[in-house]
Amino acid sequence: MKFTFAPESRPLDGFTIKRAIARGGFGEVYYALTDSGKEVAIKLLQDNLEVELRGVTQCLNLKHPNLVTLFDIKQDTDGDHWIVMEFVGGKTLDRVVHEHPNGLPFDEVLAWLDGIAAGIGFLHDRGIVHRDLKPANIFRENGIVKVGDVGLSKFIAPSRRSAHTQSVGTVYYMAPEVAKGRYCREVDVYSLAVILYELVTGKVPFDGETTAEILMKHLTERPNLSPISANLRPVFEAALEKDPQRRTSDVLELARQFRAAATHLGTSEALQVGNVALGTESGSEFHEIHAERLRICSQLRDLLDQARKLETSADRDRTWSQKQPQIVELVQQVRDIRANVFQRDERLWDYSAEGTFSSLVAIADKFHKLASPRLPILDDAHTQPHEKPAAVTPTPQRPSMFPNPKRPASRWEKACYATGRSVSGSLSLWQRHPLLLIGAAVAILIWTLPRGVSANVMSAGRGLSFLWVVLGVVITIELFRGVSRGVDWLFLTERSSSTENHERSTGHGHQKPRQQRMAESSSWIRAAAFRVVNPNSVREISWRRRITELSGSLATAGLATALVTAVLAYVTQFFGSTALVGQFAVGTLLGSWGLLIVSKLREGLPRERYIDRMLLAGVGVLVGVALFELDGWLMIDLPTDGWSQKQSLLAMTSTSLSDNPQHILAESYVAFFATLFFFRRWWWHTDSFRAHRFRVLSVCLTAIVGAVAACAWGFPVLWGTVWAASLSSVVQLAAVWTPREQRQ
């Protein structure tokens, strides 16, 4: 909805508009404060007709609690007229009806009806017809119903305004004779009957696609009274009569008839008639039930008061355990009352009774807890048989995920290795927590799906373009490598002694026959694998074993991610909000899964380090895209730390730098993860033949790479560093590790 006047504008001297309230049929309504702070509603009259102004002027001095008070009419500098009136907070009847699609509870209907009828009846008594009665014009504040737009609706005939500009909201409540230009007070009776019908059933009697259709129904169609109970039907029939001469003549009369008919509804009928009886009751039964409810409530309250007295009584000589039997007795009494009530009629048990009941149970609970240490009998008799066994039952011996490397391998373990089976217990963990993986997978799916497809495709496109850039860099470097091996440091290679040994030995390799060198392949490292087993060692690993170990690792990665995130969240207060915790955990989990999957599938195969790096970078791109999408979905901001995007490499590659330094671009996400995954030899973190199960040095190096990558791509440096370190830790914790002596 667009409004003409902006907040803080002062079209009228002395009034400051704070916000728009609504747009009615006759103009825009604003909430405004006078210079001294009085709150008022001001309404701009858009069609500035003399006759309309006269109508309002007539009503200017009417006073009734159920009518919105008019204060004044003012003219602004442009000559437009404004009505200054009482500001009424609270919900409009329109909103209330929306919240009760099946109709309002019976006592609510009566409360609204009485207020409206009193206000309109007063108007009629003063010789004024409202003519635009509708739920959007009716308010209730502090329990008092107020009818608005008094005196404004001079000529609302559709003949004067075209059927297109007429708002449908008005037409629903418009009496048929209005189309012929007749406005007697029966118009208001008809409108009130329509409103009443809507309050009772939740629907208007005449609905349609267009204004013309609804008008036609008002003129010709008989209202469908089947959702209304039989006692009330004559009331509606008379009030919704097409001919104003035969219609109920007065709103107060309508209210009286409705109340009388409702009060004489029989019990059985009240239950079978549709919506009037929904969750509530009608007529005389209503009063009986109400009285009975009050009686039950006061009974319950007495018991609760006794319990509260016991709870707070200061007599020190009686311990909690001595008081407890009394409380137990009170609870028993209340339980009896409740059982009794439910046996008779469950409608007698209302919310307030339930509230009192639960308060009493809570007190009894407290007594039980406080008294228990001194009431060993109660403990033994009640709590132990239920609670003890669970605690005593030895937890099933779970095979250690991380077998102690100093412990000599058991015969079973050796046998497992010989047959290529997993010894790590990962299978059993996987079996025990299948939901862990499924749950995470579903969560990721849900997180990524709701965004529009076009945005996803765009991000993926960006990601691919970055992958392409990275590829270009790699090819360049590889070419350069051919010229000089000096650039090896770029990749922060942790050279194992074996590699160096091997390089030394290949220094003497000139004597070797040419064919033999060809057979060893161009990879120098592979030859070393025959002497020292390390992640570069070529070995045969069955698919079954890969999958088994991988599933175990993925599950463990979930646990490790949870652990790392929990430590960061609770020990260091790293995260500013819950959403950030989610973003971090999902990033760590996705990243570690990607790394683990690629490494596991490539484990033992002849090492082609650039293929590995490219695969990992690709995974990095996917992780980056996923996290960017999640970022957008959660609408979060990673805390930035001074390193501007404009100083980063991104400024050269991207033309659309964000004007918000808090907002991380898709390019930043993708490039950061691609770089991080590319420039580390992750297989040294994940391979089962890595030198150590967990190397702190690896974590530190990864953190440094993360920091550099974050700086380079305008990613938050702190988050980049911490994310890199967490990935390294999680991956090392999760990956299967074979002790050196068991490697073959």
Partner 1 sequence: MLSFLRHPPIVSRPATQGAMSAIWIDGVGCFWLSLKDRVTIGGPGTPSAKPDEPRESADLAILSDLKQRHATIVRNGEGYLLEAHGSARVAGREVLDRTALNDGAIIELGRSVRLRFRQPSALSLSARLDFVSDHRPTQSVDGVVLLADTCLLGSGEENHIVCHDWLGQILLVRQGLELWCRSRQALTVNGHRLGSGRRLQSGDVVSGEESRFRIEIPN
Which class for 666: exposed (0-12), middle (13-18), buried (19 or more C-beta within 10 A)? buried
Q: SS3 sequence, 190-211? A: HHHHHHHHHHHHCCCCCCCCCH
Which CB, 43 or 681, lies closer to partner 1? Answer: 43
- Under the binding rule (CB under 8 A), the answer on residue 215 touching partner 1 is no
- Residue 51 amino acid letter: V
Angle at 478 between CA 486 and CA 523, to 5 degrees: 85
Using CB under 8 A as the binding rule, whether residue 86 contacts partner 1 is answered as no
Residue number with CB closer to partner 1 (292 or 637): 637
Q: Of these, 542, 578, 647, 653, which contacts partner 1 (CB under 8 A)?
A: 578
Q: From residue 37 to residue 66, what is the string marking binding to partner 1 with x (rule CB under 8 A)? A: x-x---------------------------
* Token pair recorded at residue 204: 């208007």
Give the long-range contacts of residues 363-366, CB within 8 A, separation 24 or more: 363/304, 363/307, 363/308, 363/310, 363/311, 363/327, 364/307, 364/327, 364/328, 364/330, 364/331, 366/311
State the DSSP code for 374.
G
Asked if 630 and 586 touch (Cβ cutoff 8 Å), the reply is yes
Residue with Cβ nearer partner 1 (77 or 572):
572
171 near partner 1 (CB under 8 A): no
3-state secondary structure of 88: coil
Question: Least Å distance between CB 110 and partner 1?
Answer: 20
Q: What's the CA gap between 672 and 709, in Å, rounded? A: 6
452 CB neighbour count, 10 Å cutoff: 8
What x/- string results for residues 308 through 327 when contact with partner 1 is judged by CB under 8 A? Answer: x-------------------
Q: Which is nearer to partner 1, 399 or 582 (CB)?
A: 582
Q: Which of 659, 697, 741, 744 binds partner 1 (CB under 8 A)?
A: 659
Contact between 121 and 252 under an 8 Å Cβ cutoff? The reply is yes
> CA-CA distance, 331 to 361, in Å (whole number)?
7
Q: Does 447 bind partner 1 (CB under 8 A)?
A: no
Q: Are 673 and 652 in contact (CB under 8 A)?
A: no
Q: Which of 208, 718, 739, 743 binds partner 1 (CB under 8 A)?
A: 718
Does an H or E element contain 16, and which?
A: strand 15-24
What does the per-residue mask of binding to partner 1 show for 340-379, with x meaning CB under 8 A? ---------------xx-xx--x-----------------
The pair phi, psi for residue 502, each rounded to 5°, is -65, -40
Does 395 bind partner 1 (CB under 8 A)? Our answer is no
CB of 22 to partner 1, least distance (A): 6
H-type alpha helices, 132-171: 168-171
- Residue from 522, 497, 488, 525 nearest 679 by CA: 488
408 counts as binding partner 1 under rule CB under 8 A: no
Does residue 453 interact with partner 1 by CB under 8 A?
no
Closest CB to partner 1 among residues 669, 677: 669
Gap between the Cα atoms of 270 and 277, Å rounded = 6
Helix, strand, coil percentages in the chain from 3-state DSSP, rounded to 5? 60, 5, 35
Smallest distance from partner 1 to CB 48, Å: 23
Q: Closest CB to partner 1 among 111 and 597?
A: 111
222 Rama sector, left if φ>0, alpha if ψ -120 to 50, beta otherwise: beta
Given candidates 48, 210, 577, 647, which one binds partner 1 under the rule CB under 8 A? Answer: 577
- Strand, coil or helix: 14: coil
| 636 touches partner 1 (CB under 8 A) | yes
Q: Considering only residues 157, 469, 562, 634, which one is a binding residue for partner 1 as defined by CB under 8 A?
A: 634
Taking CB under 8 A as the criterion, the residue among 660, 692, 696, 700 binding partner 1 is 660
Q: According to CB under 8 A, which one of 12, 21, 68, 93 is a site residue for partner 1?
A: 21
| Interaction of residue 95 with partner 1, rule CB under 8 A | yes
User: Of the listed pieces 400-408, 652-660, 675-683, 705-713, which binds partner 1 according to CB under 8 A?
Assistant: 652-660
Distance between CA atoms of residues 13 and 74, nearest Å: 10
Is residue 87 within the footprint of partner 1 (CB under 8 A)? yes
| Smallest distance from partner 1 to CB 138, Å | 17
Residues that bind partner 1 (CB under 8 A): 1-3, 6-8, 18-22, 31, 33, 37, 39, 87, 89, 95, 98, 141-143, 308, 355-356, 358-359, 362, 568, 571-574, 576-579, 582, 632, 634-637, 639, 658-660, 662-663, 718, 722
